[in-house]
Each structure stands twice: as structure tokens, then as C-alpha cells.
Amino acid sequence: MSLQEHRQAIDRLDAEIVRLLNARTLQVLEIGEIKRKSGEEIYAPHREKAVLDKVCRLNDGPITDGSLRSIYREIMSSALALEKPLTIAYLGPEATYSHQAALKRFGNSLAYAAQKTIGDVFLEVAKSRADYGVIPIENSTEGAVTPTLDLLVDTELKIVAQIILPIQHCLVTHAAKLTTIRKLYVHPQTHAQCRLWIRQNLPETEIIETSSNARSAELAAGEKTSAAIAGLLAAEKYRLPVLEHDIQDNSANATRFVVLGRKVPPPTGADRTSILFSITDKAGALHSALAPFRRLKINMTKIESRPSKRKVWEYYFFADVDGHLAEKKLATAIQELGRHCSFVKVLGSYPNGD
């Protein structure tokens, strides 16, 4: 085939793709109408996971599975926006990693509302001013995000999905080389994640801590001899060239975000459940509380303690376990857990994986 013939073939395929996308969207809108009549949530993480897994199984290439998932993310995002104008609250300002995580989960077609604090994200969803909220819960290098854990204690909201975002810190600046940088704007947690690189490459630079990575980029954008450590989304927003990529000390650095909603999605067969509990103050209490999970062979992937703030020397435990609350084995384990605890709360069941 000649170049012109190849282009004509692409034109025909594009016409067919557009026709099929609209036909698919019409089916989605019909489903949305059924959901509204039955009171179901429009956003369905369990169905989303099934669709993405299915299209990857159907994929024979040359498109990679990652690219196919990105394409379908936007297809589903545009359909969601037509079903219902959803608003997603996230820890702002715009172009933070929380914003990036929200876009990764929900795509570019929905409305996004930046919030000043994690507590504000909870409030927006609780007051129904936002349909869902995206907040960080833990970093692979720095550990748990304690404000999130503390706020989960009292909320009636549920964790309905999770997002694993690889954190790729970049040095962004108008400066042409490292030796001309006089000031570095950096968020405290980002500073901790890039401490070795900063010490080796910018040992004499004045370090100024900021409220967010996006704020760091905003400040650096107005000064020729200043730099910021931020993500690519912030660099793009503030039109800052990237001088150095991937400067985090740990190449496997990632942050786990959770999506706050009102209803736990149905099981997918590969789920995670987050639990909060408080044990009585006596010897062996934690061992006894966790015994049902061992006996029923339920894998616990995480456990973390936090002061309860209600009583001196009383602690809450946050745990993640494999399985869904609707599954009999896990429901039994949680019921038995309650016999050894003064307080038990299921924070949510949601698809495991990203």
C-alpha cells in the first residue's frame, strides 16, 4: 500500500471507531438511567476494573496494555460525565500529586474541586458538594498520612477505590544549570524523599519549605534563579522546564491514595478491606483480636496504630486485609474481631490493585 492508501485506510477506521464509541456511550447512558431508577451509584469501581481487565485480555498488540487502559480511562470518563456531572474533590491546589491521582482514576472529562486540607475533602463529600474525594493515605518511603487516618475515625464515608501513583519528583526551573540555582522551593515530605539528591547536587542552595509541590512550582516560576521540586503536572501548569527527572532517593517511591464515597462497591473477587479497631487494655489483647484472621487464612497486608485522642494511652489500629466484607469468611473474621475489641469499624471494601 502507498502512503495515501494507508491514510485512507486510517480515515475509514477512524470513522468506524467514532461510530462505535457513540454506540457504546448510548449503552452506558441506558445503564445510567437504570441505575438512577434503582438508586445505585453511577460510578462503579468494580465494573470499571472488570472492563479494564477484559480489554487487556482481548489485546493482541501492538498497543500496550498500559496505553489501552489510558485510552479506556478517557472513554469511561466521557461517558461518566454524560451520565451525571460528577465532581471530584481532592487535596489541592491544582497540579498536586493528589490532582494527578484523581485524573488517573477519573479521567479528564469530570469536574474537579481543589481543597485546602484533607479535612476539607472529607467535608465536601460528606455535605454532598462533591460526589467523591481523593486523598493520600500512605507513602512507600514516609509511611502513613496521619491526618487521613485520624479523620477516618469519625466519618461515615467509605473507601470505595484506591490509586497507586508512582511519585516521580523533578527539579523544575528557568535556570539553565544547577550551579545558578540560589533558592529551592520544596514541600517538607518531598524534601524528605529527595534529601540525598539535594545534599549532593544543591549543597549551598537556600531551601524554602512550602505548603505543596504545586505551590513550590508556582513560586519558582516567577524567579530566574530559583527552582522547585514538583511533578510533571505542576511543571506543565506553571510552564517550568524540567532540568532533572526522577530525583527521588528511592526509585520505587509511590503514594497510595484512596477514593472516598458513600457506598461500598460490590465484590470483584480480588478486593481489599480496610478496618479500624480499638482493643481493650490487657495482655495479649492484640494477639487474640487478630487470631481469627490467622485461623481463617485471611492475609493482612498492613496494620498501623494511632493514638485515639479520646483517652490517654488508648490506640486505634488501622488494618488492610484481603477480601470483601460481603464474603462470608471475612465477615466471620470481623465479627470475631469485635468480641475482643471495644470498637470496630469497616472503612470500606474496594478492588485491590490500581
268 is catalytic: no
Q: Is the bond preceding residue 93 a cis peptide, omega within 30 degrees?
A: yes
Q: Which of 255, 273, 277, 293 is catalytic?
A: 255
* CA atoms of 91 and 348, how far apart (whole Å): 20
* CA atoms of 35 and 47, how far apart (whole Å): 13
- How far is the CA of 143 from the CAs of 101, 137, 255, 301, in angstroms? 18, 9, 9, 14
Q: Is 111 helix (H, G, I), strand (E, B) or coil?
A: strand
DSSP 8-class letter at 270: S
Cell numbers found for residue 222: 516567577
Beta bridge pairs of residue 165: 255
* CA atoms of 17 and 20, how far apart (whole Å): 5
* CA atoms of 241 and 220, how far apart (whole Å): 11
180 is catalytic: no
Counting other chains too, the contacts that 39-45 makes at CB distance below 8 Å and 24 or more residues apart are 41/261, 41/262, 41/263, 41/265, 42/80, 42/83, 42/84, 42/86, 43/80, 43/86, 43/131, 43/132, 43/160, 43/261, 44/265, 45/160, 45/161, 45/259, 45/265, 45/350, 45/351
Beta bridge pairs of residue 113: 89
How is 302-347 classified by DSSP, letter by letter? EEEEEE-SSSTT-EEEEEEEES-TTSHHHHHHHHHHHTTEEEEEEE
Q: Which of 122, 257, 277, 317 is catalytic?
A: 257
Beta bridge pairs of residue 183: 206, 226
Residue 93's H or E segment, with its range, is: none
Query: Which positions are catalytic?
Result: 255, 257
